[in-house]
Each structure stands twice: as C-alpha cells, then as structure tokens.
Amino acid sequence: MNLLLDEVARATARLADAGAASPRADAEELAAAVHGVKRSELHTVPDAAFDARYWEGVARREAGEPLQHITGRAFFRYLELRVGPGVFVPRPETEVMVGWALDTLRDMDVRDPLVVDLGTGSGAIALSIAQEAPRARVHAVEKDPKAFVHANRNVEALDERGRVRLHLADLSDALSELDGTVDLVVSNPPYIPMTEWEYVPADVRDHDPAAALWGGGDDGLDAVRAVEQTARRLLRPGGYVAVEHSDLQGNAVYWVFAEEHGWRDVRNRRDLTNRDRFVTARLTLD
C-alpha cells in the first residue's frame, strides 16, 4: 500500500469527523497540492517523498479554513486560479452562468464582442470568457484592492492573448466611456442579506470577504440593483445581462429587471442542482 494513500485515508476520516462536506476530495486535493501532483497521480508519490506538511493543511481544514485558502488555488471551468484571503472563492454554480454567457455570445455572432464583468473578484468569469470566446474583449471591474491584487495576478498568469482589462472601480459608476456599446454584462455580485448571517456556512462567512457576500438592503439586493442600472447604461440596444443570485431570490431579481426600464426576455435560469441561480435579460431594441 502506498504511504500517501494511507495518510489520505486517515485524513479523510478526520475531516469527516470535523464535518467537512467533501472530506475525501478535500484530503486528496490537499495531498496533491502539497506534493505537486494531480489528484489522479497521488499513487505515484513514493513513500520517501511524503511531506509531513500535509498534516498542517489537514489541521487547518479541520479548523474550518477553506480548502482553497490552504492550497492557494481554485478550479473554475478550465482555469486554475490563484486565490487566498481577501478574495471570494469562485463556486461551481457560477460556471453555469458563464456557460450561458458563452452560448449567448456565439448566438450574437458579433465579430469582436465587448463584455463587462462587474465585481470580478478573482477574475474567474472574465478569464473564462476570454479563454473560451477568444475574440471577446473583456473589461473586469473590481472595487476591493485586496481582491484586485488576486485578479491582477490571475490575469497576468492566464490571459495569454491580452483580452482582459482590469479596472479598480466601483461597479455602480465604472466604465462610462463604454456606455451604449457593450454586448454582454455578467455579474456575480454580493447578494446575501444580513438577516441570513447565521445560516451562512462558517467557512464562508468567516473567510470570504464581507464585501463579496452581503448585498445591502433588507433583501440583500442593493448590489443587484446597482448592476441593473450599470448594465442598462453600458449595453447597446439588444445587448444582454446575466446576474447571479441565491436560490431563494429568483423572483425578486426577476422584477429588478423591469419592463419599464427597457428590459425584455427576462428569465430565471437554473444551476446544475435545478435551483434558480441567475437572471438574464435583453435590453430593448426600441
């Protein structure tokens, strides 16, 4: 039996006892990160190469620190992103919204589509669109200086074609020079109301930056309303917007994109668990 696999089995049991949602995956990912291999290659690590620092990572995960903060990396679609304290860790749910955005760009059939990512965080959305829609020009806006540092590192490492431009700015008034010209606006803004604080998992509320979680207002949707206003200003007639929300906010966010504001084709769309996850809308051609 391989020593590392034995230790992974022990770590899995410890993380399960600590209440980790995915103890085996966490134990394997920690082992892969410490030993510089892929999870599928753990069996290739010789016994003599076992690194005892693995147990330091396991202890940190037991204590509730996010896996991605320990390993310093997060996987999103086809990207490996650098993350850590001060930046929101991207979630798989958001990958579905990015998939919709890419399909929409293809259907638009615009030669060099102009895309804006409002509240980019680590840069996950912006970089995925730039990678998978290689002719797209993407402007990514982030207000928080700490998150901006992470986004900048990821853009420098992953944006080989130079298609992403970062802006340290507030999403509510950013990019006025692009007003009326953008094809697609995408955003995963903060949207959790403070009244839900006690229901948010501890490793999220204690480690993800507050500015990326709490959306403002009694319903948590102040940031979503700001995205709606900015998207309305930035988009060309016929352009589209996609905004993520919690699985309980679909109806409320739907009505943020009101017809009297010029929105058409407003739809709630679901994630892989079949829960409402993001709203899309088209700016009227009138």
Cα-Cα end-to-end distance for the chain: 69
Question: Is the domain of 14 the same as that of 114?
Answer: no
47 domain residue, yes or no: yes
Residue pLDDT, tens place only, 140-172? 999 999 999 999 999 999 999 999 999 999 999
Are residue 171 and residue 265 in the same domain, yes or no? yes
pLDDT bin (cut points 50, 70, 90) of residue 134 is confident
Closest CA to 128 of 148, 105, 107: 105
Q: Is 142 annotated as a binding residue?
A: yes
Is residue 81, in this structure, part of any structural domain at all? no
Say if residues 124 and 79 touch (Cβ distance below 8 Å). Answer: yes
Q: What pLDDT shows up at residue 21?
A: 87
Number of domains present in the structure of the chain: 2
Please check whether residue 77 lies inside any domain of the structure: no
Tokens coding 103: 């399909």
Catalytically active residues, by annotation: 88, 188-189
Residues 38 and 133 in one domain: no
Does 136 fall in a domain?
Answer: yes
Q: Which of 105-109, 143-147, 190-194, 196-200 has the lowest mean pLDDT?
A: 196-200
Residue-range definition of the domain harbouring residue 12: 3-64
Q: Does the annotation place 237 within a ligand binding site?
A: no
> What radius of gyration, in Å, describes the C-alpha atoms of the chain?
20
Structure tokens at 143: 């207000």
Question: Is the confidence at residue 138, as pLDDT, over 80?
Answer: yes
Whether 75 is in a domain gets the answer: no
Is the domain of 53 the same as that of 91? no
How many angstroms separate the CA atoms of 153 and 41, rounded? Answer: 27
Is 202 or 254 the better-scoring residue by pLDDT?
A: 254
Do residues 260 and 189 share a domain? yes
Instruction: Please indicate, yes or no, whether residues 121 and 172 belong to a single structural domain of this protein.
Output: yes
Same domain for 139 and 105? yes
Give domain status of residue 71, yes or no: no
* 235-244 vs 263-270, strand pairing mode: unpaired
For residue 220, the Cα-to-chain-centroid distance in whole angstroms is: 18
Residues 200 and 105 in one domain: yes
pTM of the predicted model as reported, rounded to 2 decimal places: 0.92
pLDDT in tens, 214-257: 788 888 899 999 999 999 999 999 999 999 998 889 899 999 99
Task: Evaluate if residue 133 carries a pLDDT over 70.
Answer: yes
Kindly state whether residues 114 and 53 are assigned to the same domain: no
The answer to whether residues 173 and 258 belong to one domain is: yes
Q: What per-residue confidence (pLDDT) applies to 237?
A: 96
* Nearest Cα residue to 136 out of 127, 124, 147: 127
119 marked ligand binding residue: yes
Q: Is 190 annotated as a binding residue?
A: yes
